[in-house]
């Protein structure tokens, strides 16, 4: 519906109410409606699910059409990210938000900072989704409010051409509301608990939920040791629970991202139930590290029958069972295939390093069974990208027989190697990693889980060093405010960013000429108008 049609629709409603609504202005109503395009979280989830489905189809047609996101731990951070994307690139297409369970645990728990072990309140996850979308919707309202002010000026000046240009901009306004891929960890309990939390997350606006195959009460960060996986059927129950939640709420295009931590997880808590040789439970159990036993030597042991031979799975003092060394990739491939065959839409393989050939080797095996398999990939800050890629170049050059006497592989992180041919080659590979991995390794979506955690720490460190040091106030003015002004950072006018102009508009709608507005001539924010 165009802006003019929205005005007409509001006018019909007002006229139908009779004289008692005579003071209500149809265009003001229309403006408020346009500024609040998504009244509920379910409206957002349905809209963003359609975006993701279209992007997934575009990637299937052309791997260059991959998508990206950054993890954001606060609504303001997510808002500023989308404002920046629109400013620099003119569109939000292909850019999402990522909601990291790690950052919720570290930054959003009532217990204070926690490790990524699902100890935080699970209700903080949907609360952050709702907060992110509140800030994104406010970014829409702020941007459209600016267009409405321009429209009023054009009309007051009698400039019909400018008026039409602005009306077209309003009708074609691109929302800041983009998909969020939201981390539900291992589901915070059994399948029913997963379903209940999934509902809350979807109702808050999430169109894509990421779930991992770890044991819920043993959950660890994907880049830490001690990870424990569950048998496939346990994980598939949770995938089905999430799908039921999507369908119940009418988000039929909802996306499930199935994450496997099997590459780094060498432990399991359970022996899978198997009905017959070769079924999924039997395949899982065949990865267990076992030793042959005879019936006479058994003493309260758990044993399995493997091809007619009694085998005792090796059990640790923790009562956990261990997998055979070197089975991680095979387990990842089986995890991925079974997840896609049972309702998942995208895969996430948590790796220990950003190595395209390693990822592609697993994806090739998955795609031999499911040709359109696609990955979400964590471009993790837990990787030392500089050292990893310098070592990859070193190894490639060594295989080519090049002279590497000027380099020490173990010390390639050193600043002494900055500017060398090897370092430049490594930086080039980092620069094109996302493009190359999407073309070769089936990665549809690249994300950085914790970037704004690190940028907040870095920028605060720099400001503290300058402001509390010799630079004093210049440390803020030169490195923050002056940079904001010259780079066109919207929040330099922080009152406007916080909604003061939107509030003034509402005051005028509600009180007319009696409105006491904040944005007058004496508002100090006017110093930044230029």
Cβ neighbours around 399 below 10 Å, total: 8
For residues 332 and 347, give the distance between their C-alpha atoms in angstroms, rounded to a whole number. Answer: 10
Q: Where are the beta strands (DSSP E) in 175-331?
A: 180-183, 208-212, 228-229, 255-260, 267-268, 290-292, 304-306, 309-313, 321-322
CA distance linking residue 313 with residue 308, whole number of Å: 15
The active-site residue out of 72, 207, 221, 290 is 221
Q: Which of 84, 134, 139 is nearest to 501 (CA)?
A: 139
The total of other beta-carbon atoms located within 10 Å of residue 316's CB is 9
Q: Which of 330, 260, 321, 335 is nearest to 289 (CA)?
A: 321
Is 336 marked active-site?
no
Distance (Å, whole) CA 33 – CA 10 = 9
Contact 100, 451 (CB under 8 A): no
Give residue 152's Cα distance to chain centre: 38
Nearest by Cα to 302 from 316, 312, 291, 289 = 312
For residue 119, how many C-alpha atoms fall within 13 Å in the half-sphere facing its CB?
13
Strand partners, 256: 209
Nearest to 241 by CA among 344, 337, 128: 344
Cβ contact 479:463 at 8 Å = yes
Spatial distance between the Cα atoms of 528 and 530, rounded to a whole number of angstroms: 5
Distance CA 492, CA 481 (A): 7
- Give dist(CA 451, CA 103) in Å, integer: 10
Buried/exposed code over 174-197 (b: 16+ C-beta within 10 A; e: otherwise) = ebbbbbbbbbbbbbbbebeebbbb
Q: What whole-number distance in Å separates Cα of residue 98 and Cα of residue 70? A: 6
What DSSP element (H or E) covers 375?
strand 375-378
Active site residues: 221
């Amino acid at each position: 519906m165009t802006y003019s049609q929205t005005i007409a629709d509001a006018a019909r409603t007002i006229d139908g109410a009779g004289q008692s609504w005579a003071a209500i202005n149809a265009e003001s109503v229309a403006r408020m409606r346009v500024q609040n395009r998504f009244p509920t979280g379910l409206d957002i989830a349905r809209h963003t699910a359609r975006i993701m489905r279209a992007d997934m189809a575009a990637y299937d047609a052309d791997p260059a059409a991959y998508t990206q996101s950054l993890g954001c731990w606060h609504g303001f951070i997510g808002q500023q990210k989308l404002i920046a994307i629109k400013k620099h690139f003119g569109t939000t297409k292909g850019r999402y938000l990522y909601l990291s369970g790690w950052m919720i645990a570290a930054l959003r728990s009532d217990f204070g900072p926690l490790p990524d072990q699902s100890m935080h309140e699970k209700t903080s996850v949907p609360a952050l989704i709702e907060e992110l979308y509140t800030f994104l919707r406010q970014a829409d309202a702020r941007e459209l409010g600016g267009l409405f002010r321009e429209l009023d000026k054009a009309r007051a000046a009698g400039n019909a051409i400018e008026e039409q240009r602005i009306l077209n901009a309003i009708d074609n306004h691109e929302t800041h509301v983009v998909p969020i891929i939201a981390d539900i960890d291992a589901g915070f309990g059994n399948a029913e608990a997963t379903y209940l939390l999934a509902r809350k997350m979807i109702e808050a606006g999430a169109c894509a939920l990421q779930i991992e195959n770890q044991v819920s009460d043993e959950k660890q960060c994907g880049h830490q040791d001690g990870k424990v996986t569950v048998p496939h059927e346990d994980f598939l129950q949770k995938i089905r629970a999430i799908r039921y939640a999507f369908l119940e709420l009418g988000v039929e295009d909802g996306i499930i991202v199935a994450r496997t931590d099997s590459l780094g997880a060498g432990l399991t808590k359970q022996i899978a139930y198997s009905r017959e040789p070769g079924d999924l439970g039997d395949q899982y159990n065949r990865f267990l590290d076992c030793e042959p036993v005879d019936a006479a030597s058994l003493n309260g042991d758990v044993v399995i029958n493997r091809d007619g031979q009694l085998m005792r799975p090796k059990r640790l003092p923790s009562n956990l069972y261990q997998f055979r060394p070197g089975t991680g990739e095979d387990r990842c491939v089986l995890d991925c295939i079974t997840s896609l065959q049972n309702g998942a839409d995208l895969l996430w393989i948590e790796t220990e390093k950003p190595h395209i050939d390693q990822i592609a080797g697993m994806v090739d095996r998955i795609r031999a069974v499911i040709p359109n398999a696609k990955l979400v990939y964590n471009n993790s800050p837990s990787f030392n990208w500089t050292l990893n890629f310098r070592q990859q170049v070193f190894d490639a050059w060594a295989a080519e027989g090049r002279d590497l006497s000027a380099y020490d592989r173990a010390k390639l992180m050193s600043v002494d190697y900055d500017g060398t041919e090897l370092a430049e080659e490594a930086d080039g590979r980092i620069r094109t990693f996302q493009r190359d991995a999407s073309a070769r390794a089936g990665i549809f979506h690249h994300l950085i889980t914790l970037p704004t955690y690190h940028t907040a720490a870095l920028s605060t460190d720099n400001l503290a060093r300058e402001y509390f040091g010799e630079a004093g106030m210049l440390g803020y003015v030169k490195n923050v405010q002056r940079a904001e002004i010259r780079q066109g950072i919207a929040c330099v006018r922080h009152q406007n960013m916080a909604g003061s102009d939107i509030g003034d508009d509402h005051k005028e709608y509600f009180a007319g000429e009696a409105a006491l507005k904040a944005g007058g001539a004496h508002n100090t924010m006017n110093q930044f108008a230029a």
